[in-house]
Amino acid sequence: MTKIVDHDQRRLLIAEATLRIIRQMGMKGATVRNIAQESGLSLGALRHYFSTQDELLNFSMRLVKERATVRINELVSIDMPLFQKVLRILLELLPTDDNKLAEMEVWFAFTAHYRSSGTTYDAQHDGVQDLVERLLHSLKESGLLRPELDYTLETERLYAFIDGIALHALLDTKRVDYERIVNVVTYHMKSICTEESFLLER
Amino acid sequence: MTKIVDHDQRRLLIAEATLRIIRQMGMKGATVRNIAQESGLSLGALRHYFSTQDELLNFSMRLVKERATVRINELVSIDMPLFQKVLRILLELLPTDDNKLAEMEVWFAFTAHYRSSGTTYDAQHDGVQDLVERLLHSLKESGLLRPELDYTLETERLYAFIDGIALHALLDTKRVDYERIVNVVTYHMKSICTEESFLLER
């Protein structure tokens, strides 16, 4: 048993080293050699834990996604008014601090890497579309969504808007700062929710 | 004179070959060797026209931008109701056909390449933010924008929304097809314009 735990922990440490490397050097730095060095392992030892580079990269991307999921589930479990909760969860998806900016950097690097390598790419891999759908659904079920709206198009619009803001926050970090992100996301959510949703909650 | 024209034309042909390579193989295929082959030139001849790979890539990206500008200026000069014109221009920015999808692919590959290479990156290089601002400004000046809206936040929102849709159309081409793009962009623009803007125009 001990050995299995060690094996998993070592894989986690290697994935974390991979994320640090991508953050610092971009995808082009994510060579087996660099990752081995950052992990303090020999090339042979690294290959013991991950037999191919693709396997290692996929594992690291999964780590990014899992971390985001943990943060979001924590928010889901907190007792607070629904409009505020949805807003907080959407902001959790966006690069509002250095840590999340680094994760977004990894997402971007991975996505570009997989596109250019011709590997089959799963556009839903990051789970954002699914999450946006569930958030709008809960607002609708609670009667907070303005009734005159087209629910399907609102889902598409919110999903595009969130990923667009994320992209801009990544590419233009100085201009699209924390305050701007909060303002525009709040503005959008207020525009699609009834006034009662956010007025009563204050 | 003839020689100068030839030189420029040859540079254009090489840039077009570069775009074809990126489209087919992604950024990792954009090696000097592959581009020389695609252009039907020797490595030495290619270096005569572009002394570094970065110089060639920047020139190619500029070509993508110039082509989009030409298409948009054509639309601007056509006589049609403003709401329709703004909608057509926004759709021109989005990958609604194979040609524009290839350009978006190039944009994405370039952006990722420059991020990971650590070169200074100009987030406004593609001119989309500037164009979105000008479109909303013209709608506002003509009284087509709903007066109760926050103009600054609407600009930020539209810019994020357009780039988000573009990203989804690139990454999830099958789902985010022409019809879906037209529907959601029209929906958004109707939501921020007065009813007169689009009802009178039909």
Which residue range is the domain that position B186 belongs to? 64-199
Same domain, B96 and B31: no
Same domain, B176 and B81: yes
Mean pLDDT value of segment A14-39: 86
Same domain, B107 and B36: no
CATH number at residue A9: 1.10.10
CA distance B140 to chain A (A): 19
Instruction: Nearest by CB to B157, from A117, A124, A161: name it.
Output: A161
Q: Is the pLDDT of residue B180 over 90?
A: yes
Q: Among A76-85, B34-43, B45-54, whose mean pLDDT is lowest?
A: B45-54
Q: Is the pLDDT of residue B145 over 90?
A: yes
Question: Would residue A57 count as lying in a domain?
Answer: no
Report residue A149's pLDDT band, with 50, 70 and 90 as the boundaries: very high
Q: Is B24 on the interface with A (CB under 8 A)?
A: no
Same domain, A147 and A121: yes
Name chain B contacts of A124, Cβ cutoff 8 Å.
Answer: 172
- CA-based nearest residue in chain B for residue A157: B184
**% of chain B at pLDDT higher than 70:** 91
pLDDT tens per residue, range B152-177: 999 999 999 999 999 999 988 889 99
pLDDT of residue A116: 65
- Structural contact between residues A29 and A21, judged by C-beta atoms closer than 8 angstroms: yes
Report residue B119's pLDDT band, with 50, 70 and 90 as the boundaries: low
- CA-based nearest residue in chain B for residue A176: B156
ipTM: 0.87
Residue given tokens 């735990």 in the structure block:
A5
A125 or A35, greater pLDDT: A35
pLDDT tens per residue, range A39-54: 999 999 999 999 988 8
CATH number at residue A162: 1.10.357.10
Same domain, B185 and B157: yes
Mean pLDDT value of segment B130-139: 96
Same domain, B33 and B102: no
Same domain, B124 and B31: no
Mutation target among B101, B171, B192 for the A interface, most CBs of A within 10 A: B171
Same domain, B124 and B168: yes
Distances (CA, A) of A76 to A71, A145, A192: 9, 19, 21
Q: What is the mean pLDDT of chain B?
A: 88
Q: Is the pLDDT of residue A6 over 80?
A: yes
Single-letter amino acid code for the residue at B85: K
Instruction: Nearest by CB to B163, from A25, A29, A167: name it.
Output: A167
A143 or B114, greater pLDDT: A143
Q: What is the number of structural domains in chain A?
A: 2
Decide if B172 and A123 are in contact by the 8 Å CB cutoff. yes
Q: CA A44, CA B78: separation in Å to the nearest integer?
A: 65
Question: Would residue B114 count as lying in a domain?
Answer: yes
Report residue A119's pLDDT band, with 50, 70 and 90 as the boundaries: low
Mean pLDDT value of segment B64-91: 93
Close Cβ partners of A6 (under 8 Å, ≥ 6 residues apart): none
Q: Is A75 on the interface with B (CB under 8 A)?
A: no
CA distance A160 to chain B (A): 4
Decide if B153 and A187 are in contact by the 8 Å CB cutoff. yes
Instruction: Nearest by CB to B164, from A113, A163, A184: name it.
Output: A163
Same domain, B42 and B70: no
Task: Give Cα B104 distance to the centre of its chain.
Answer: 6
3-class SS at A145?
strand
Mean pLDDT value of segment B68-95: 94
Q: Is the pLDDT of residue B143 over 90?
A: yes
CA distance B195 to chain A (A): 15
Sign of the dihedral defined by the CA atoms of residues B158, B108, B103, B123, in that order: positive
pLDDT of residue A125: 67
Q: Is the pLDDT of residue B125 over 80?
A: no
Same domain, B79 and B31: no
Same domain, B34 and B73: no
Same domain, B115 and B153: yes
Instruction: Nearest by CB to A26, from B116, B150, B191: name it.
Output: B116
Q: Is the pLDDT of residue B121 over 80?
A: no
pLDDT of residue B160: 98
Q: Is A112 on the interface with B (CB under 8 A)?
A: yes
pLDDT of residue A127: 82
